[in-house]
Amino acid sequence: MNSLLNSKSVLNTLNSVLATQPKLTALPPLSLYIHFPWCEKKCPYCDFNSHQIKDGKQGFDEARYIKALITDLETELPRIWGRQVHSIFIGGGTPSLLSAHGMNELLSAVRARVNLEPDCEITMEANPGSVETDKFAGFAKAGINRVSLGIQSFQDAQLKALGRIHSGEEAKRAIAIALQHFKSVNLDLMFGLPNQSLEAAKSDIETALSFKTPHLSFYNLTLEPNTYFANFPPKLPSENEIDAIFEQNLNLLEAAGYRRYEVSAYAKKDQECKHNLNYWRFGDYIGIGAGAHGKISFPDKITRQVRERHPETYMQAMETKGNALIEAKEIPAKDLPFEFMLNTLRLTDGVDTVTFGERTGLPLNVVSKGLDEASKKGLLDSNPNKLKATEQGLRYLNNLQEIFL
């Protein structure tokens, strides 16, 4: 009898575990992220995987790095065979340090190996200090159709405090050049800068709006661990001053026809960034390059990969082993709800509740307790067909996301 009860107990436990394993009926959209790890100068607030180019461009071998990227992409092909790539994002670091020839070689190799959607969005990040007219024309010819410019501010004193290599005038010139060559241009701006006043923040937004770019990103400067600013923090505006800057500039953006569609992203109608939307909707992405992360779904599991961070170590690994993975794992079913919510709750429109099952392969009832708690706290919209943060939820997004941790 005890043996029978034990068998039933084991069977019930097994069924319970199996019931929460991912079962995807369809695979999500697929993107490609390419990391370029070098920059001319490491900014004191930056916690991205970027490495300052030394005198004489020591350590920066463009041809060698591109060859490693192509090999890296080839190792991923069996995992995404038959799937279309709908967006590419080349981030860094400062990808605009690549030559136009190198960019053309890289994108030609990508096209030869993966099936790109006809209207594939191809974004490159660029530093205004590394913008050249001929170079941008070459990037556009290579296939780049969207550029994201790291402006941060138009005020020279603020740019100096942020350790940027460009001036306000160089930023304006870079925007004008980008608008001549690319279908879409995004401007990255920061607020809550060292000693920033309400009026200075307003001036930055008004200058950005004068260029009428289709997309703007508006970030609050945060002191990230393992950065210079974390160890030597500058004097930042108070929380009340930061709130005032945000509300002021949000009103200016909305009045100019920009809709806030994600916590820090604003776009004119139908000009949202397809690549970032795929992240926030818990889509799939191949990640190649030094320190790149990837997420690939299969019918019965969702996997993540991480590559070697240092560019030299990454290139050596690609050359000697044929891969530079330092982590490759299946995401445990228990972690999927948090990962999903961590991304999708950033969207101001949220997502339909059915998206949870489509992207995690899990039933919605696995998060029912968290949904009830978040709704009672006023952080989650009460619409039963939506997973959407309230205004309060967006304001206290970390608190909302932690409920599902």
Domains of the chain: 30-279 (3.20.20.70), 333-405 (1.10.10.10)
What is the model's pLDDT at position 59? Answer: 66
Q: Give the single-character DSSP code of 324.
A: -
Instruction: Give me the mean pLDDT over the 123-131 stretch.
Output: 89
- CA angle (129 as vertex; 68, 41 as ends), nearest 5: 60
Residue 203 has pLDDT above 50, yes or no: yes
pTM: 0.92
| Cα separation, 262 vs 350, whole angstroms | 9
Q: Give the single-character DSSP code of 81.
A: T
Assigned token pair, 259: 């809709």
When pLDDT is cut at 50, 70 and 90, the band that residue 47 belongs to is: confident
| Cα separation, 313 vs 294, whole angstroms | 18
| Cα separation, 222 vs 393, whole angstroms | 19
Using one digit for the tens of pLDDT, what is the confidence trace for 366-387? Answer: 999 999 999 999 999 989 899 9
Using one digit for the tens of pLDDT, what is the confidence trace for 132-149? Answer: 889 999 999 999 999 999
Residue 143's closest CA among 85, 219, 200?
Answer: 85
Residue 276 has pLDDT above 80, yes or no: yes
What is the model's pLDDT at position 58? Answer: 54
| Cα separation, 212 vs 118, whole angstroms | 26
- CA angle (387 as vertex; 382, 391 as ends), nearest 5: 65
Q: Which residue has the higher pLDDT, 21 or 277?
A: 277
What percent of the chain lies above the pLDDT cut of 90? Answer: 80
- CA angle (146 as vertex; 133, 211 as ends), nearest 5: 70
Neighbours of 188 (CB within 10 A): 17
Contact of 318 with 72, CB cutoff 8 Å? yes
Using one digit for the tens of pLDDT, what is the confidence trace for 278-303? Answer: 999 999 999 999 999 999 999 999 99
Q: Give the single-character DSSP code of 380.
A: B
Neighbours of 382 (CB within 10 A): 11
Using one digit for the tens of pLDDT, what is the confidence trace for 169-197? Answer: 999 999 999 999 999 999 999 999 998 99
The b-or-e profile of 291-329 (16+ CB within 10 A means b, else e) is bbebbbbeeebbebbbbbbebeebbebbeeeebbeeeee
When pLDDT is cut at 50, 70 and 90, the band that residue 211 belongs to is: very high
List for the chain the helix, strand, coil content (%; round to 5): 45, 20, 30
Using one digit for the tens of pLDDT, what is the confidence trace for 74-91? Answer: 999 999 999 999 999 999
| Cα separation, 9 vs 15, whole angstroms | 10
Assigned token pair, 255: 């009045």
Query: Which range (110-114, 223-227, 243-247) has the least confidence?
Result: 223-227
Contact of 194 with 184, CB cutoff 8 Å? no
